[in-house]
């Protein structure tokens, strides 16, 4: 019989958690179990987590709702990477006496991926690479970014980095969000426009917003309908910011030129999902923040938080109220 605390590390898709931090500092007091798969089913998740006193979450891969938390009476600590996790009901966890903590994060990975996606769309990278691998040669004519219009929906830390690079490519950069002002846009190197203008004039529209009830489906059928037939949509933030059914319909009917997507309504993306197979979609598996540098911040601080909790020392607590 062991008196060690049982810790579950969830959704370690790459098997990277143990390689990016020194977990051995916990082994005299804790047993660490790493799960590389993902469970969508709530009952299966509860059954898996029932024996554990602590759970480590990677961003928003596994939701811990109030209903799930109520079924985990042994749970005493939740550690999530980053200081924001909309899939975790932080307030309910705290009300149940569960300590909820987070880590710092870095912002470089997602903007870099956004530019990879934009360039892949502009230069038809998937098709041209496939042609070379299949023994063929040139199949299409690419687009210059110079003098195109880059639309940035959400001009926070990530959006500002996107605008900066857009200017380096000599693009016209326009921006809108619900709280953006002309002065803040200008400071970031963008021209403030209203939402309709953003949609109508963007050649590449990138969404960089937090998901909340206010922003859910902020790009729906009506918004997609205002975009140019030659325009491309890029979403690396959260899947439900865009009405998925409306986007699929528009892509199938070629009412916009294409989309690059790193986030989806359901993740991992089901094997038969249309986004996996459409020729005008570049899809990546939610890898915006998945970089070595980010993981070397996330996992060492996860270990630090667990160690502090085990010692009764101060811990990085997640801000409330939790999901919005």
Q: In 36-156, which ranges are continuous DSSP H helix?
A: 42-49, 66-69, 90-95, 109-122, 125-133
d(CA 238, CA 207): 9
Q: How far apart (Å, rounded) are the C-alpha atoms in residues 80 and 57?
A: 5
Three-state DSSP state, 120: helix
For the chain, the C-alpha Rg in angstroms (whole number) is 21
By DSSP bridging, strand 149-153 and strand 77-80 are: unpaired
Helices (H), the chain: 42-49, 66-69, 90-95, 109-122, 125-133, 157-168, 182-187, 195-201, 221-226, 244-252, 292-311
Q: Which helix (DSSP H) or strand (DSSP E) does residue 235 occupy?
A: strand 232-235
- Residue 204 pairs in a beta bridge with 150, 232
Cα(1)–Cα(105) distance, integer angstroms: 38
What does 140-166 look like in DSSP terms, one character per residue?
------TT-EEEEE--SHHHHHHHHHH
Q: In what order do the strands lie in the sheet with 191-192?
A: 191-192, 172-176, 149-153, 204-207, 232-235, 258-261, 281-283
Q: CA–CA separation, 40 vs 49, rounded Å?
A: 13
Inter-residue long-range contacts of 138-146, CB under 8 Å, 24+ positions, other chains counted: 143/203, 145/118, 145/119, 145/169, 145/170, 145/171, 145/204, 146/170, 146/171
Catalytic residues, which ones?
Answer: 238, 267, 286
CA dist., res. 26 & res. 115, Å (int): 39
């Amino acid at each position: 019989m062991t008196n060690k605390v049982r810790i579950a590390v969830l959704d370690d898709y790459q098997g990277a958690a143990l390689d990016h931090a020194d977990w051995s500092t916990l082994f005299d007091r804790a047993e660490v179990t790493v799960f590389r798969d993902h469970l969508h089913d709530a009952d299966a998740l509860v059954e898996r987590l029932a024996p554990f006193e602590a759970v480590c979450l990677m961003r928003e891969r596994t939701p811990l709702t109030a209903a799930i938390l109520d079924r985990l009476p042994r749970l005493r600590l939740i550690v999530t990477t980053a200081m924001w996790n909309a899939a975790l009901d932080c307030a309910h966890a705290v009300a149940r006496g569960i300590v909820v903590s987070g880590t710092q994060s870095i912002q470089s990975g997602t903007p870099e991926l956004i530019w990879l996606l934009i360039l892949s769309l502009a230069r038809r990278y998937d098709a041209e690479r496939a042609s070379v691998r299949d023994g063929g040669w040139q199949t299409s004519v690419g687009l210059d970014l110079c003098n195109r219009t880059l639309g940035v929906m959400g001009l926070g830390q990530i959006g500002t980095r996107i605008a900066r690079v857009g200017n380096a490519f000599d693009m016209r950069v326009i921006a809108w969000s619900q709280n953006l002002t002309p002065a803040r846009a200008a400071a970031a190197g963008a021209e403030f426009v209203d939402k309709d203008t953003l949609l109508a004039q963007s050649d590449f529209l990138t969404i960089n917003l937090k998901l909340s009830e206010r922003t859910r489906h902020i790009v729906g059928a009506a918004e997609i309908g205002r975009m140019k037939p030659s325009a491309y949509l890029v979403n690396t933030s959260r899947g439900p910011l865009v009405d998925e059914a409306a986007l699929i319909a528009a892509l199938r009917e070629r009412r916009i030129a294409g989309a690059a997507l790193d986030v989806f309504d359901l993740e991992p993306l089901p094997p038969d999902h249309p986004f996996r197979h459409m020729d005008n979609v570049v899809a990546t598996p939610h890898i915006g923040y998945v970089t070595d540098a980010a993981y070397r911040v996330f996992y060492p601080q996860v270990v630090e938080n667990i160690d502090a909790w085990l010692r009764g020392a101060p811990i990085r607590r997640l801000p409330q109220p939790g999901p919005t």
